[in-house]
Structure 1
Amino acid sequence: MINVYIGYDEGEKVAFHVLSESIRRHASEPVSITPICYSQIKEFTREKQPNQSTDFAFSRFMVPYLSNYKGWSIFMDCDMLCRADITELWNQRDNKYSIMCVQHEHIPGELKKFQGEVQSSYPKKNWSSLMLLNCSRCTKLTVDYVNSASGLELHRFHWLEGDHEIGAIQGGWNHLVDVQAPPEPLAASPMLHWTLGGPWFREQRTMGGPLAAEWFSARDDAMKLWD
């Protein structure tokens, strides 16, 4: 079973459902999809901070705890679209690492992101937006630590012994729409990530150009299931 946890935010619930269906539609193996909804995790008690743009900014680090510190789990932001078999990502697991992620070099040029939220800049930005977590090696992410550590300590992986514990996900997963150059060819990236805000927001319906049109097509396909 491929264990996938997706960050859930009330303002982006449509994005969550479209992503979930896009994973299911392409998967060749059984997938368990769990929303990380902080209001449902009673042990998660930290209050939302002013610079926190989503409800799951910090609750994502509860995944090893929710997985009983056993096996591997995937975490991903909800503002993504899966275009390929999630098994291809799952098969990159390597037990010599505690986590694996796409190691972007993202230095934001803008001061604001979607819905006017403050755009923060820090080393390893967006690394934690898609993670393969080797949960048995993430035992430092206790409930107390996740509730009390600073955002930078969490997102910069200060809870690891060092960067040697971080493996690199290969293959174009976690392509940052309108931050990185469009994939070549356009269909090359298996996972699109609207980190600046996606077409589910009225003001950003064209974010990504043809990639936005692809998201709407995926939304329409998902809605057919509910007819």
Structure 2
Amino acid sequence: MTVPIPETPRVFIGYEPRERVAVNVLADSFQACSSLPLLIGQVRLDQLGGIYDREHHPKQSTDFSFSRFLVPWLAGYQRWALFIDADMLCLADIAELWALRDERFAVQLVKHQHDCEAGRKFQGMPQTPYGRKNWSSVMLFNCARCRALSPAYVNTATGLELHQFHWLADAEIGELPPEWNVLVGVQPLPPSPKIVHYTLGGPWFDDCLDMPASDRWLAARAAMNHPLESALAVHHEA
């Protein structure tokens, strides 16, 4: 009997040098919760030379503000892929999210109603209000239907054209349950969040240690480091 080959979930995490520890804790949290093998990569500007040449915009707060939209291209416009911001923590099995893929849509996401005022957030980074804010922070891409996101388009489209999904018809944007992108400090934490999003700054920054749900992230970092600490203790005893 031939066993069908399952589609391995592909996860792309936005990389920001100041949030390197957050990227690694997030990746480990996916693996720790997953019942499926995962392929996890990072969207890093230092690996996109000659492809991504967009100038840094004064309103962007991370390196991946716009490069995130290269994920369908990075995936060869084939099958499905998930993009997620670095400043998050996974608390549930990605198999649950992967099972929500719907071929009727080009992209699926949590349709937040995040109204904010212009100002500053973590590390003095700009906080910019706009329609559909945070929709693009977790995106489940049906890559074959996202060919409009070519490197040329991502390099030249305005920020609003990208983040407000002008490259799609509204009917092509599917909705994910809100627990897959819970905005910490913006909305109440539900009883069982699946992905928490430290959009105002997480406890890897000294000025955000008192952010709600910081204990969850700190516990995840400790759990990630525990095997290393055990191995070092054995090494020193030997």
The equivalent of 2:29 in structure 1 is 22
Please say which of residues 124-133 and 109-118 is displaced more in the overlay: 109-118
**8 Å contact 1:44–1:147 — kept in the other structure?**
yes
The question of 1:60 aligning with 2:68 is answered yes
The question of 1:44 aligning with 2:44 is answered no
Code of the residue aligned with 2:33 in structure 1: it is: H
1: CA distance, partners of 2:57 / 2:226: 37
1: CA distance, partners of 2:23 / 2:75: 20
Report matched runs for 1:1-227 at 5 Å.
Answer: 1-42=8-49, 43-109=51-117, 111-160=119-168, 162-170=169-177, 172-183=179-190, 185=191, 188-208=192-212, 211-227=213-229
1: CA distance, partners of 2:227 / 2:57: 37
**8 Å contact 1:69–1:139 — kept in the other structure?**
yes
* Offset of residue 110 of structure 1: 5.6
Code of the residue aligned with 2:48 in structure 1: it is: I
Q: Secondary structure at the match of 1:128?
A: helix
| TM-score, normalising length: structure 2 | 0.91
**8 Å contact 1:97–1:166 — kept in the other structure?**
yes
**8 Å contact 1:198–1:204 — kept in the other structure?**
yes
Q: Secondary structure at the match of 1:30?
A: coil
Code of the residue aligned with 1:36 in structure 2: it is: V
Seen in structure 2, the aligned counterparts of structure 1 residues 110 and 206 have a Cα distance that, compared at 3 Å, is farther
Q: Deviations over 1:102-137 (max 9, x none)?
A: 000000146211111111111110000000000000
Q: Secondary structure at the match of 2:32?
A: helix
Q: Deviations over 1:9-43 (max 9, x none)?
A: 00000100000000000000110000110120121
**8 Å contact 2:19–2:86 — kept in the other structure?**
yes
Structure 1's consecutive aligned runs of 4 or more residues displaced over 4 angstroms after TM superposition are none
**8 Å contact 1:8–1:55 — kept in the other structure?**
yes
Q: Secondary structure at the match of 1:60?
A: helix
1: CA distance, partners of 2:100 / 2:108: 9
1: CA distance, partners of 2:40 / 2:227: 17
Structure 2, gaps ≥5 residues long: 1-7, 230-238
| TM-score, normalising length: structure 1 | 0.95
Code of the residue aligned with 1:192 in structure 2: it is: V
For this pair of structures, how many residues does the alignment match?
221
